[in-house]
Amino acid sequence: MLHRGLDATYPEEVRRRITLLTFARTSANGCFRFAPPFLATIASGLGVSLDTIGIAVAVSELSGLVSPVTGHFAERLHRRTAMAAGLTGVAAGVSLAAASQHVVMFAAALIVIAQSKVLFDLGLGAWISDRVAYERRGRALGLTETSWAMGLLLGVSSMGIVTALTSWRVAYLAGAIAVLAMAATVTRTVADDPAAGHEHARAPRPAEGLRVPPAGWMLVVAALCLMSSSQMLFVT
């Protein structure tokens, strides 16, 4: 379906797998985005106040500060391995959330989900970057970014229906099953990196004392404000 957005000049492997990988990311995004719209329901199920579970969500968001460590781990893996491991980790975190009996356990589950999704996203981005030239990469990456919206429209909506019919725990379990199915499909259908291609060229280390320019910090702050604004709507 999404391959129609890429013309024949793109690698055939990318055109064949772009839809699968986008829907794999959609399943992970759906699980990642499920909690904020249903915080009140989850708080009631855990027997805590909305303020308390809001703190748990805030703590899980702070786990993003360790994403560079996850990135360092991801670059040591084959691209397919990183994607499959990320999806499996998301499924594990979602299962932990479904089984959580305490808000601390739920917060830990959200952290596992968040960092596992980072691992998958890095693997996916690297997989595309290995195969598509920089000047043509935007369209392929843009197609995969539709998974953020589809994660809410398809993933969260479907999990919301399951919640209405059963409970939020069952919805999380349904999400875990979907993500595991995607992990198995990615492992089975996406070709592994060539043995010779696994030794990716490493950029030279920056000189000691090299600092981020002011414009770079402005981008970091702008991204922080953007993410804060996007989460504020759901949390409040």
Handedness of CA 144, 75, 90, 52 (dihedral sign): negative
Q: What is the pLDDT of residue 109?
A: 97
Q: What is the pLDDT of residue 201?
A: 47
Q: Residue 9: enclosing H or E segment and its boundaries?
A: none
Q: Which residues contact 49 (CB under 8 A, 6 or more apart)?
A: 43
Structure tokens at 53: 């579970």
What DSSP designation does 171 have?
Answer: H
The DSSP code sequence of 11-57 is -HHHHHHHHHHHHHHHHHHHHHHSTGGGHHHHHHHHT--HHHHHHHH
Query: The tokens 């708080």 sit on which residue?
Result: 43
Q: Tell me which residue of 17, 33, 11, 15 sits closest to 155, measured CA to CA.
A: 33
Q: Tell me which residue of 59, 23, 4, 33 sits closest to 171, measured CA to CA.
A: 33
The whole-number mean pLDDT for each consecutive block of 10 residues of the chain, a chain of 236 residues, reads 77 91 97 94 94 89 87 90 96 97 95 96 93 88 93 96 97 98 96 58 53 81 79 62
What DSSP designation does 210 have?
Answer: -
Q: Tell me which residue of 157, 189, 179 sits closest to 24, measured CA to CA.
A: 179
Buried/exposed 62-91: b ≥16 CB within 10 Å, e otherwise: ebeeebeebeeebeebbbbbbbbbbbbbbb
Q: What is the pLDDT of residue 195?
A: 47
> What is the CATH number assigned to the segment(s) 7-192?
1.20.1250.20
How many C-beta atoms lie closer than 10 Å to residue 111's C-beta?
20
- What residue segments make up the domains of the chain, in order of their start? 7-192
Q: What is the pLDDT of residue 170?
A: 98
Q: What is the pLDDT of residue 235?
A: 57
What DSSP designation does 4 have?
Answer: G
Q: What is the pLDDT of residue 80?
A: 94
How many C-beta atoms lie closer than 10 Å to residue 132's C-beta?
18
Answer for the pair 123, 74: CB distance below 8 angstroms, yes or no: yes
**Distance, CA of 108 to chain centre:** 16
Calculated CA dihedral for residues 145, 146, 148, 152, nearest 10 degrees: 180
Judged by DSSP in three states, 193 sits in coil
